[in-house]
Structure 1
Amino acid sequence: MRKRKAPATRSATSAAVAVALAAAGLTALAPAAPAAAAVPETIALTFTNNSGRSEPVYIYDLGTQLSTGRQGWADAGGTFHAWPGGANPPAPAPDAAIAGPANGQSITIRLPKFSGRIYFSYGQKLVFKLATGGLVQPAVQNPSDPNSNILFNWSEYTLNDSGLWLNSTQVDMFSAPYAVGVKAPDGTTKSTGHLKPGGYQGFFNSLRSQPGGWANLIRTRADGTVLRALAPGHGIESGALPATVLSDYVNRVWSKYSTSTLTVTPFADQPNTKYFGRVSGNVMNFTNTAGAVVTSFQKPDSDSIFGCYKLLDAPNDLVRGPISRTLCAAYNRSTLLTNPNQPDTSAAGFYQDAVTNQYARKIHAQMADGAAYAFAFDDVGHHESLVHDGNPQQAYVTLDPFS
């Protein structure tokens, strides 16, 4: 499963030292910087089930051990276990499930210094396998995936010497609702990810009524259970959404910047670092303040925009990556025609064009605080559903009601 997310508006220095992960496909959320306070080897995570559902819940803590770079899982006590070698075809992975709390109950587990995912599933355990290249994770867009009929979701986190970064994500799908939180040393708790009352059903109802194939993103089990809505990139991959769904908007952007200039100021703390984009034929060239071309982008297709990859690839450098993630956010939010100065960080102007990322628009509309990770660089302008503390005292994941 592809996963494409990186810090969007950090300074050049911290962006350049973001934690990199190995072949498991898990994405780091944090820069590796000197610690302001000693972070213990494990911290408590309280996992609360307020879902209102009667099925058993299973929890998994999977990722990369930061001290060794090894991939594996952590048990409820925070002890790391490395995956054994994989096989071709992939072989079953060891059972890493932790029994979760019943509805109305909580359990506390320990998170180790790790960068990875906290999966949770309802009703049955997830199926994980090991290939020769590492862990095979659920592919939500693949109807033959062994997890395709399981109701599940995941959070992403990094715990290192600089603290905890914990998010709720919809980059791959919108599914079982949950929120995340972290307690600071002063006892205050930051949380994000909660939906508005009725927001879960409100999202699916809104998606169903959206013309243009967006309703086809919804996946339902044979018993009538709504499992998830695929992110639009996966919708294109699976044939559920037209590959040309954003083409009209891209064509208008291309026309506009054939005769005018797009200005990108990618670092909020470096207002004098600017790049200037102009379209020539099938290419948008970006120059620096000295007039030198620093990078160029081919005219992107819809999948490149939804995934912030391929023709909008964003390497972890100081020029192309920052420009690309700014463009990616602007395309998804459809702000390039209304504002030639990017990033546009005011949510009031997002998703106003008829051709836009309707999936992301509808997710943000249903979040209690407006924050979400509905596409890979939704953190441009700090609209992401992320909590962080440099000296975390405790973390939280809360399974929220479906109704």
Structure 2
Amino acid sequence: MSLISAAVIGTGLATIGPIAPAGAAIPATIPLTFTNNSGRGEQIYIYNLGTQLSTGRQGWADANGTFHAWPGGANPPAPAPDAAITGPANGKSMTLQMPKFSGRVYFSYGQKLVFKLALGGLVQPAVQNPSDPNHNILFNWSEYTLNDSGLWINSTQVDMFSAPYAVGVKLPNGSTKSTGHLKPGGYNGFYSALRGQPGGWANLIQTRSDGTVLRALAPGHGIESGALPATVMNDYINRVWSKYASSTLTVTPFADQPNTKYFGKVSGNVMNFTNSSGAVVTTFQKPDADSIFGCYKLLDAPNDLVRGPISRTLCAAYNRSTLLVNANQPDTSSASFYQDAVTNHFARKIHAQMVDGKAYAFAFDDVGNHESLVNDSNPQQAYITLDPFN
């Protein structure tokens, strides 16, 4: 089961972590140490926004971990209350209290972010929209869930690659687990590699008028904004479709259920999946690049036990371009990932620059456990560290 959904840009917040059992003894809040090692001089602003798990209400937490519910929204959207926490200067740390939320910790450089409230809830930054009020602000976010089962916190690039940071959790024995750190030179290395990738990939990079590099859009948002051709994956998709018209794709979606297998075969414009009894259990139309990069639309993954797990497996295999080299999926060995000339080069270049090789470069990057996420069932402390821009 995927621990993270695609990060939601618009209203609502992504959820990570399982549903908590009753009776567990995680405190109401845990400390979050926020460290600024960015090497930059701008003022940092921090926002802890999410859904209060005990009530289901959306709102924000202040530095003490106190929950504040959002007021009602409006049409057109009205400004949200100022939830900004003034962050630490370069080289400094501060400790906040993290409540039992499913939500995001945003951080911005030099300017406060603009949040508004629509009738349906919080409107979050939409970086793919050039008219979004946050478009020219340097910012990023982490996603987390803290509940009675523990803490799950990630470093995500599902929507964009931007200001570098890492996350961590302190275990009861005093040790820590962390993920999200770039290799030395990895920040500049990523952008240099993306600029050098032909086919429109360099157009994903967004720069402010003063020359500041703001972010690289994830390729799905690049297609949406016209920065990346919608046909960028067509050659690979066509080759996959041709291969499985005459051979069978075997999907074993659950590592702990090796006998649960589904068999895919292309017929016309659809790939039919059958179970071991030969019954058709789900059907996929020929996907397009946007469906692949977003793991949605023609590769929708409902939270069920058949189509969703098959779709997640297909999504990962398309993004990593492993379907032509391995007819048994998921392929969980990173040695075969991104080897085709047609692939998710955004994801490829992010993983190449990570110290531990792990990233959330697309929604189901957790297939095979290649995601940048740490968790613990008895967290003593959480960490977010802003890293240097080098």
| Shared fold (TM-score, shorter chain, > 0.5) | yes
Residue number in structure 1 paired with 2:158: 171
- Cα separation, 2, equivalents of 1:121 and 1:298: 40
Can you list the C-alpha shifts for 1:234-270, whole angstroms capped at 9, x where unaligned?
0000000000000000000000000000000000111
Counterparts of residues 3-402 of structure 1 (less than 5 Å): 6-7=2-3, 24-34=11-21, 38-402=25-389
Q: CA deviation at 1:26?
A: 1.1
- Cα separation, 2, equivalents of 1:345 and 1:74: 38
Q: CA deviation at 1:37?
A: 5.1
SS in structure 2 at match of 1:395: strand
Alignment coverage as a number of residue pairs? 387
Can you list the C-alpha shifts for 1:358-392, whole angstroms capped at 9, x where unaligned?
00000000000000000000000000000000000
Cα pair 2:253 2:309 within 8 Å, conserved: yes
Normalised to the residue count of structure 1, the TM-score between the two structures is 0.94
- Cα separation, 1, equivalents of 2:177 and 2:11: 29
Cα pair 2:322 2:336 within 8 Å, conserved: yes
- Cα separation, 1, equivalents of 2:2 and 2:146: 16
Cα pair 2:12 2:121 within 8 Å, conserved: no
| Identity of matched residues, % | 83
Q: CA deviation at 1:36?
A: 8.7
- Cα separation, 1, equivalents of 2:248 and 2:14: 33
**Which moves more between the two structures, 32-41 or 62-71?**
32-41
Can you list the C-alpha shifts for 1:103-153, whole angstroms capped at 9, x where unaligned?
000000001000000000000000000000000000010000000000000
Can you list the C-alpha shifts for 1:163-201, whole angstroms capped at 9, x where unaligned?
000000000000000000000101110000000000000
- Cα separation, 2, equivalents of 1:53 and 1:43: 28
- One-letter identity of the residue aligned with 1:7: L
Cα pair 1:304 1:312 within 8 Å, conserved: yes
Cα pair 1:333 1:357 within 8 Å, conserved: yes
Q: CA deviation at 1:33?
A: 3.8
- Cα separation, 2, equivalents of 1:35 and 1:132: 32
SS in structure 2 at match of 1:155: strand
SS in structure 1 at match of 2:199: coil
- Cα separation, 1, equivalents of 2:13 and 2:272: 32
Q: CA deviation at 1:49?
A: 0.1
- Cα separation, 2, equivalents of 1:112 and 1:136: 21
- Cα separation, 1, equivalents of 2:56 and 2:182: 35
Give unpaired runs (5+ residues) of structure 2: none
- One-letter identity of the residue aligned with 1:210: Q
SS in structure 1 at match of 2:197: coil
Q: CA deviation at 1:35?
A: 6.6
RMSD: 1.3
SS in structure 2 at match of 1:322: helix
Cα pair 2:254 2:260 within 8 Å, conserved: yes
SS in structure 1 at match of 2:308: helix
Give unpaired runs (5+ residues) of structure 1: 9-17
- Structure 1 ranges of 4+ moved more than 4 A: none
- One-letter identity of the residue aligned with 1:148: H
SS in structure 2 at match of 1:270: coil
Cα pair 1:24 1:71 within 8 Å, conserved: no
Cα pair 1:216 1:241 within 8 Å, conserved: yes
Can you list the C-alpha shifts for 1:266-312, whole angstroms capped at 9, x where unaligned?
00111010000000000000000111000000000000000000000
